[in-house]
Chain A
């Protein structure tokens, strides 16, 4: 029993949830005020996409679904919607090794920025599919561009953190 508990606590997914909570705290406080060009930085999307770019599609999809679900809990959109979007784009970001055999850090950073932009554009589309229309506007391209540029800048900082978070431990 205690070994099982220890295994759960030491697993990469527990670490992801804890790191995700901290990132979500930053997202809902300081980043909701700091809006460069009126656009909010998307840290939760960054976590999912970075996990995909580093560890591949399966870990990316799982990470994206988990952090997306956490993000969903503080949003007013239907619960689970962001989870699907972040999970999907994180899976997509994980397909990088299909195209580049040994991607360098800047390859990953570009993929992170690209899939962040795709994810950010998918949010209003997904909202529209559930009946929450009105957000598919020209503005979403500006939002996606700004989010992509910011995530391109943040990717080299976040990558080592996500690498540590999702590292497979001996116990986990």
Chain B
């Protein structure tokens, strides 16, 4: 067995020491490590581009072999879902628009008022122990670290690294990811549905000609039925002919109750959880399928009311610890192609011009 030469021993020690120093600098958020990565990227990106072109047939063949059955099954399922959702989407769009108008009227922030940048996902994380993807837009498009990322379904993650023309997104499932969220719960006792849509149509059109047109909306999310009205709660003027604007108020017991908590990722094999939910009497028993939306706030990196997912499981805990909710994400993180980055920064991080 050859003895390690002093020269190589020095080289090993030097490299190991360099690595330790780099780890320390990176953990301290030093700009020098970003510079090292950026310089390496200058040399590596062309090589990666060539590798991408050369290996594309191989990856296509692999996807064709391994995913064919899944794709056909998914295609069939999607066709069914599209048919189901077509009707509901119209009502939902109208409801969302109405909600945005109301928010704007009251001077409250809405998602529609936030500029966004669309980007294409160009790569997954090259590691088994990181949940991130790379996109083809960067600081030149106004993207900054911390900005929330969405796809058509809902929240996907947040920006963690930004370069000139690319950025890295940390996905919701990464154990490092945490976000303040709201659970919109509709306790069982307060659930109300439109029993007879035709009756409701007659009632609302005769008494409140302007307000609502009932539509047969269906949603699997309790408490989130866009466009639906609550017939028992309609307060109308006795004489419909009188031109007094009537008010439609849902009964107090029918209102969805919101409670905040913290969403945390747990890796790709486990669903994210929401913790620190208060067990208040008013909040009631949390229903499966209750929607989870971002909480917003002056310190939160995401604006309020971005759809994150639904409650799939409630793990009750003893004492005042509160339940832990397992979340089914609405966004399919395994198949991201295009994403939207909200150019949103909390008030506390906005710099004065």
Contacts and interface: CB of A to CB of B under 8 A. Distances in A.
Interface of A: 21-22, 24-34, 38-40, 42, 56-59, 61-62, 65-66, 68-81, 83-84, 87, 91, 97-98, 120, 123-124, 127, 130-135, 137, 139-140, 143, 147
Given A58-B12, A76-B170, A134-B266, A33 B62 contact: yes
Interface of B: 1-2, 4-5, 8-9, 11-12, 15-16, 18-23, 25-27, 33, 36-37, 40-41, 43-44, 47-48, 50-52, 55-56, 58-59, 62-63, 123-130, 132, 160-161, 168, 170, 175-176, 265-270
Contact of A81 (B23, B58, B175): B23
B44 A73 contact: yes
B15 A76 contact: no
Contacts of A59: 8
B43 A21 contact: yes
A130 B56 CA distance: 36
Contacts of B132: 76
B269 A137 contact: yes
Contact of A97 (B1, B21, B126): B1
Contact of B19 (A34, A65, A135, A143): A65
Given A79-B33, A80-B19, A29 B55 contact: yes
B175 A133 contact: yes
28 contacts: A24-B44, A25-B47, A25-B51, A25-B52, A28-B48, A29-B55, A29-B59, A30-B52, A30-B55, A30-B56, A32-B124, A33-B124, A40-B127, A40-B128, A58-B4, A61-B12, A65-B15, A66-B15, A68-B19, A80-B18, A80-B21, A83-B22, A84-B23, A123-B129, A132-B176, A134-B175, A134-B266, A134-B267
A7 to B, nearest CB: 15
A64 to B, nearest CB: 9
Given A87-B15, A132-B176, A26 B41 contact: no
A69 B22 CA distance: 10
A76 to B, nearest CB: 5
- Interface of chain B, main secondary structure: helix
Q: Which of A22, A30, A120, A131 has the most CB of B within 10 A?
A: A30
Given A29-B52, A123-B129, A58 B58 contact: no
B45 to A, nearest CB: 10
A81 B58 CA distance: 31
Nearest to B28: A78
A70 B175 contact: no
Nearest to B266: A134
Contacts of B47: 21-22, 24-25
Contacts of B269: 137, 139
B20 A80 contact: yes
A79 B36 contact: yes
A147 B19 CA distance: 24
A79 B25 contact: yes
A104 to B, nearest CB: 18
Closest CB pairs A-B (n = 4)? A134-B175, A25-B51, A80-B22, A80-B19
Contacts of A124: 129
A77 B127 contact: yes
Given A31-B126, A39-B128, A62-B15, 7 more contacts: A22-B51, A27-B126, A40-B127, A65-B12, A73-B41, A80-B21, A137-B270
